[in-house]
A and B are shown apart, each in its own frame.
Chain A
């Protein structure tokens, strides 16, 4: 009986250690995979990257919650506003403006927050 227990003890320890290890690593990986947990980044993107619509989204996974939005038609700023966006939240913004009509114009969307600036643009 004692011999059997001794023989099985290594196997039991092996499986128990592996189970605990894999559980721990999977728990860690899930946290790492969460775009918000311990992360500090944000993204700016068009809702439709292929057509001429200018609607866009700000997606916030950073500690900063205050952003400044500017929209330019060529060098003319047509919109300037402050935005508040909690960590983990997304904000969809619609963009239409009479000054955007016409072809060849570069419509630039600039968003800044916490010293970082990101921009997206389309050329009509």
Chain B
């Protein structure tokens, strides 16, 4: 009964925070009769709600109001009311004229059935995976939820900073004052805080992964609606979108950046994978329909992305730049016309309003932490490590899925071959794909200094669309009796040949995609150990005082990154003995106190560290550590469970 009530409140919170604001924003911008189908609307409502809630909380934080359940609900309801008032005002002034250019994308009976099956399968497969991965254990998610929890506990926008152990020139160790961190971006955290506040459900629970799951499903839908928009003018355009849905939905449903990123807590990436296709979707609609409102939405979502994930924003900038090149090439004969339209659109009241709003947000309300020269400097330049010098094609194929890569590349060639028509959608698709291909394979060409395997994950959405296009294209050219009558206008193929190829491709894709799923399933053996980590953290949180300092191990403990959510002292509290290889990384030298205090607690260096930092609690896994403390007289063993050992250094 309690669970049912909790779930009802949770669903209500999601409706209030992740659908209602977006619905009213959409209403105010496009009115009731806008030519969007239900799937498009649902996806846009979800994205628009995310950006409204994020900006609202930033505004609340700026004016000094406590961010709590009351202020969150009241501000969201007020925003909805104001947006509704704006809709009524615009309706009175006749702003919602029926657009003759744009048409709603409509699906036939069989297409609707196919979409329904694919959506259901996608959710089903990811649910099966998440049943052993819904429990909060992931390191990344633990790090992110600390900031969300901080907002819940303090009612303030978090200040991204952490204390580190440092060594003075005379060799003494100490814990420094908190220093800013550029790795975290506010948009990754506020929505979780808001939902936790409104629902009352804690963050050390299913809540974060459930929200990420929801965002992941909508990212699949955003790619689906984008595909439908890109290929809208083709008679088989809807089928391409459905085929793309197959490649981004049930196939490879678990591998990165799909459900694995959900359970792994790669929060920013998941948001980026949702927002990027949505931005491109609105940009294409804006250019096709010459609509300043659509362009304003693209810019607004771009702003939301900039507040959420720096890497995705970086990749979007490159994708847009490459797309611009393809557009200029496709429309080279009408370049003046295009330029005039672009300028007219950008300087329209709608876009100008959004640009002014962006300016105010960035310079007066809240500037994202990564927008400083040092952060930009780390991403741009000659690759500094071997992991940033580009992947091989084999590695890229491995990360994208073999079937998807093969068909995606064939689809890319097909799009290039038929890219005679001046088409904004296909220009964006080509630009997006080429930008990420070059950034992954030859990053030095673009002076990109970011881990190449992280960029490679971004190839999956455009590759899925291209793979979908190729699959359907084979089918279509088999129907034509001559090359000229083929829907692709390039060549035709005998039906038997096309059917054979299509069947082989389908079997290969399904086998490859589903076997990838099965090999990624987790066995959930970490859960019991994680529970012990949480119970021991609760024990310590009750017993320690303001002067106590804890050091824990990250190598052998489970869910240790979540321990900080029990203390709220500092992002780096407790301190952590990091993965051993990190202490050997010459490109990023780090202090060795956290290593020595656990590995060699009786060494002279460790003694200096204990004395300088005041560390007096050690938390480790008894299966791997603990014996090194037994012979040291001033260490007490104060807590032992199967997976956790706590020692207290008595001075």
Residues of A within 8 A of B (CB): 3, 6-11, 13-14, 17-19, 21-30, 32-33, 35, 39-46, 48-50, 59, 116, 118-123
B213 near A10 with CB under 8 A, answer no
Chain A to chain B: the 10 pairs with minimum beta-carbon distance, closest first: A49-B638, A43-B641, A29-B206, A45-B639, A41-B642, A118-B640, A21-B127, A17-B123, A11-B38, A25-B134
| Pairwise interchain contact B532-A41, C-beta atoms closer than 8 A | yes
Q: Are B636 and A121 in contact (CB under 8 A)?
A: yes
Which of chain B's residues 107-138 have a Cβ closer than 8 Å to chain A?
A: 107, 109, 112, 115-116, 119-120, 123-124, 126-127, 130-131, 134-135
A11 touches B42 (CB 8 A): yes
Main SS class of interface, A: helix
CB of A55, distance to nearest CB on chain B (Å)? 12
Q: In whole angstroms, what is the CA distance A21 to B123 when docked?
A: 8
> Contacting A120 at CB < 8 Å: which of B135, B531, B640?
B640
CA distance A35 to B115 in the complex (A): 41
Q: Which residues of B contact A116 (CB under 8 A)?
A: 642
A45–B539 touching, CB < 8 Å: yes
Q: Which residues of B contact A13 (CB under 8 A)?
A: 116, 119-120
| Whole-angstrom CA separation of A28 from B536 in the bound complex | 22
Given contacts A3-B106, A18-B123, A18-B217, contact A46 B531 (CB under 8 A): no
Interface readout for B530-550 with A: 1 if CB under 8 Å, 0 if not?
A: 011001100100010000100
Among B528, B637, B648, point to the contact of A50 (Cβ < 8 A): B648
Q: What residues on B are CB-neighbors of A42 within 8 Å?
A: 641-642
Q: Are B640 and A6 in touch, CB under 8 angstroms?
A: no
Total A-B contacts with CB atoms under 8 angstroms apart: 149
Known: A24-B127, A32-B135, A49-B638. A7 touches B37 (CB 8 A): yes
Closest to A111 in B: B640
Contact A9 B638 (CB under 8 A): no
Interface residues of B in 188-227 (CB under 8 A from A): 205-206, 209-210, 213-214, 217, 221
Known contacts A25-B130, A43-B639, A120-B640; is-contact A33 B135 (Cβ 8 Å): yes
For this complex, 29 residue pairs linking A to B, each with C-beta atoms less than 8 Å apart, are: A7-B37, A9-B116, A10-B119, A17-B123, A18-B123, A21-B127, A22-B11, A22-B214, A25-B131, A25-B206, A28-B131, A29-B135, A29-B206, A32-B527, A33-B135, A39-B531, A41-B528, A41-B531, A42-B641, A43-B532, A43-B639, A46-B639, A48-B543, A49-B638, A118-B641, A120-B638, A120-B639, A122-B636, A122-B650
Instruction: Determine which of A10, A26, A48 lies in contact with B210 in the assembled complex, contact meaning CB atoms within 8 Å.
Output: A26
Closest to A107 in B: B636
Query: What is the bound-complex CA distance between A79 and B204, given in angstroms?
Result: 40
Which residues on A sit within 8 Å (CB–CB) of B641? 41-44, 118
A25 close to B210 (CB less than 8 A)? yes
Interface string of B83-114 (1 = CB under 8 A from A): 00000000000000000000000110100100
Most buried by A among B38, B205, B617: B38
- Do A22 and B535 touch across chains, with their CB atoms under 8 A apart? no
A29: which B residues are within 8 A, CB to CB? 134-135, 205-206
> B10: CB under 8 A from chain A?
yes
Which residues of B approach A to under 8 Å, CB–CB? 3, 6-7, 10-11, 37-39, 42, 106-107, 109, 112, 115-116, 119-120, 123-124, 126-127, 130-131, 134-135, 205-206, 209-210, 213-214, 217, 221, 524, 527-528, 531-532, 535-536, 539, 543, 548, 617, 633-634, 636-644, 646, 648, 650
Contacts A35-B535, A59-B535 known; 17 new A-B pairs at CB < 8 A: A3-B106, A10-B119, A14-B123, A21-B126, A22-B214, A25-B131, A25-B134, A25-B210, A25-B213, A26-B134, A32-B135, A32-B524, A40-B528, A41-B532, A45-B646, A120-B636, A122-B650
The residue of chain A having its C-beta at the shortest distance from the C-beta of B11 within the complex is A19
Q: A49 contacts B38, CB within 8 Å?
A: no
Distance in angstroms between the alpha carbons of A28 and B205 in the assembled complex: 11
* Known pairs A25-B206, A41-B641; A10 contacts B7 (CB<8 A): no
Beyond A7-B38, A9-B116, A41-B528, whether A49 also contacts B648 by CB under 8 A is yes
What is the CA–CA distance of A50 and B639 in the complex, to the nearest angstrom? 12
* Residues of chain B within 8 A of A33, CB atoms compared: 135, 205, 531
Chain A residues with CB under 8 Å of B528's CB are 39-41
Residues of chain B with a CB closer than 8 A to A23's CB: 7
Expressed in whole angstroms, the Cα–Cα distance for A23 and B134 within the complex equals 12
Q: How far is the CA of A11 from the CA of B567 in the complex (A)?
A: 42
B497 to chain A, nearest CB (A): 34
The one of B106, B214, B531, B539 that contacts A18, using a Cβ cutoff of 8 Å: B214
Chain A residues, CB < 8 A from B535: 35, 43, 59
Evaluate contact between B643 and A27: CB separation under 8 angstroms.
no
A43 touches B640 (CB 8 A): yes
* From A8, A11, A35, A120, contact of B637 by CB (8 A): A120
B127, B532, B638, B644: most-surrounded residue (chain A CB, <10 A): B638
Q: Are B112 and A9 in contact (CB under 8 A)?
A: yes
Find out whether the CB atom of B131 lies under 8 angstroms from the CB atom of A49: no
Task: Report the bound CA distance from A59 to B641 in whole Å.
Answer: 9
**How distant is B323 from chain A, measured CB to nearest CB, in Å?**
29
Task: Name the contact of B107 in the complex, choosing from A6, A17, A26, A50 (C-beta under 8 A).
Answer: A6
A59 to B640, CA, bound (A): 10
The residue in B115, B134, B213 that gathers the most chain A C-beta atoms within 10 A of its C-beta is: B134
Contact B39 A11 (CB under 8 A): yes
Q: Which residues of A contact B617 (CB under 8 A)?
A: 49
Q: Are B642 and A6 in contact (CB under 8 A)?
A: no
How many angstroms from the CA of A27 to the CA of B210 in the assembled complex? 12
- Counting chain B CB atoms within 10 Å of each CB, the highest count among A8, A24, A26, A40 belongs to A26
| Chain B neighbourhood of A118, CB < 8 A | 640-641
Task: Determine which residue in A18, A23, A49, A122 has the highest number of CB atoms from chain B within 10 A of its CB, and name it.
Answer: A49
Residues of chain A lying within 8 A (CB to CB) of residue B210: 22, 25-26
Which residues of B lie under 8 Å from residue A119 when comparing CB positions? 637, 640
Contacts of B221 in A (CB 8 A): 14
Give min CB distance, B340 to chain A, whole Å: 37
Provided the pairs A27-B3, A43-B640, A123-B636 are in contact, do residues A10 and B123 lie with their beta carbons within 8 angstroms?
A: no
